[in-house]
Amino acid sequence: MLAAVRAHGVLSQAEIARITGLSPASVSNIVHQLADADAVELSPGIRGGRRAQEVRVRSDGGLVVGLDFGHRHIRVAVSDLRFVVRAERRVECDVGASALSALAVAEKLVGELLEEIGTTRCGVRAVGLGLPAPMGPDGGTLAAWPILPTWATIDPARHLAERLGAPVYADNDANLGARGELYFGAGRGVSDLAYIKAATGLGAGLVVAGNVYRGFAGSAGEIGHLTIDEMGPVCSCGNRGCLETMVGAPYLLELIRHSHPDVRTVEQLVTCALAGDGGCQRVVADAGRHIGFVAANLCNVVNPERVVVGGDLAAAGDLLLEPLRSAMPRYAVVTVASTPVVAALTGERAEVLGALVLAVEQFQRRHDQANDADAPVDGSGSDDSVHPAARSEAGLDNVHHRVVGDPATDFGAAARRPVGGPA
Ligand SMILES: [Zn+2]
């Protein structure tokens, strides 16, 4: 509901009920709870020639924090509930070397950004956290996975929640990238989307019927570990010949180690390729072809409306995307061969923007849950009362992020409630 108000700027309660499919009684309950929490403001106005109470998202209704941990960076953004970003920063950090050190850097950055905009942690309503590894079904800890071993023994969401004093919701970074592009980028207006993040590793965030699909164990979309060569090099996951052993940063950089000893990062590789360096262009193009093979097969299985490619490697633009696109008709069945493959519009910010979306959605969900607890048992608040289009737009029906730092949370109730969808 908050998303609907945010998207339209201002709405009456009747308009909210029509857009979301909620009953007028439910809308009234939620609006007043959001107003009590200072998330929205109410004022008299004229809607459709008649007097009506207008609902707006308050610009001073609190803040959310988005945290994106890559393998080599941390990006932090602070926004209000209308997604107006008030402060943002990226720092280089070897995130895999020490989880506790990386979390300390993030905590310090959050404090600095809040200070810059003249506020404190008290104003933070929720935090979204992205990590470059699959999150387990509880949504707070990493799935059993031999990547990021220093993170395996801690609960990063709980750790940060205790230090930031706000609920923290975690997800895989590609899932957040998909959410960022769905709201603000090339995925707007699309309900079935495959977002491919090509950076140090390779992963996909899958949006199916408007929902981010995480799978039974939380590892859906791990396309970097599809087997391309059964007898190929051993991958960080323990298998052999995964796609990542062909297009992951360490492998691409190894290809040019002798010819380009000064090129040590994917960003430098892309810069050289864009500057016309033939060797770097070849490495990027071959990566595009390999990713295209998997993207085509992914389209055969999932049939997205659009494939959006983000991550550091995607900064190469058509040097990466043209070979990727050319692989599609070669390996995809005819019904999906023409699936558009486009670059992410939010660039390297997709994941942190997705983290902000996750935080706002979960903040809203807590209010929806409170409303559930108060609602009479008449079925008016059940999923069945929601128009399918509104539910499809909701975007989080199958997400079961565990809230950390808010013991009152009950996601059994959350799973029955719709939440606001893409703007
Ligand atoms: Zn692998």
pLDDT for 96 equals 87
What is the distance in A from the centroid of ligand 1 to the CA of 266? 19
Alpha carbon distance 64, 41 (integer Å)? 18
pLDDT above 70: residue 373 = no
Alpha carbon distance 131, 173 (integer Å)? 5
Sign of CA dihedral 388, 356, 360, 221: positive
Encode pLDDT of 67-123 as tens digits: 999 988 999 999 999 899 999 999 999 998 899 999 999 999 999 999 999 988 988
Residue whose structure tokens are 């929601």? 386
Collect residues with CB below 5 Å from ion ligand 1: 225, 235, 237, 239, 242
Encode pLDDT of 338-372 as tens digits: 999 999 999 999 999 999 999 999 998 887 776 66
CB 100 within 8 A of CB 108: no
Alpha carbon distance 422, 347 (integer Å)? 18
- Average pLDDT, integer, range 142-147: 66
What domains, with CATH codes, occur in the chain? 1-58 (1.10.10.10), 63-177 (3.30.420.40), 188-344 (3.30.420.40)
What is the distance in A from the centroid of ligand 1 to the CA of 169? 26
Range of weakest confidence among 27-31, 245-249, 322-326, 396-400 = 396-400
Percent of the chain as helix, strand, coil, to the nearest 5: 45, 20, 35
Greater confidence (289 vs 135) lies with 289
How far, CA to CA in Å, does 332 sit from each of 223, 294, 329, 335, 344?
A: 16, 9, 5, 8, 22
What is the distance in A from the centroid of ligand 1 to the CA of 214? 18
Question: Where does the pLDDT of residue 392 fall: very low under 50, low under 70, confident under 90, or very high at 90 and above?
Answer: very low
pLDDT above 80: residue 378 = no
What is the distance in A from the centroid of ligand 1 to the CA of 241? 7
Which residue type is seen at 143? A
| Mean pLDDT, the chain, integer | 84
pLDDT above 60: residue 418 = no
Greater confidence (418 vs 219) lies with 219
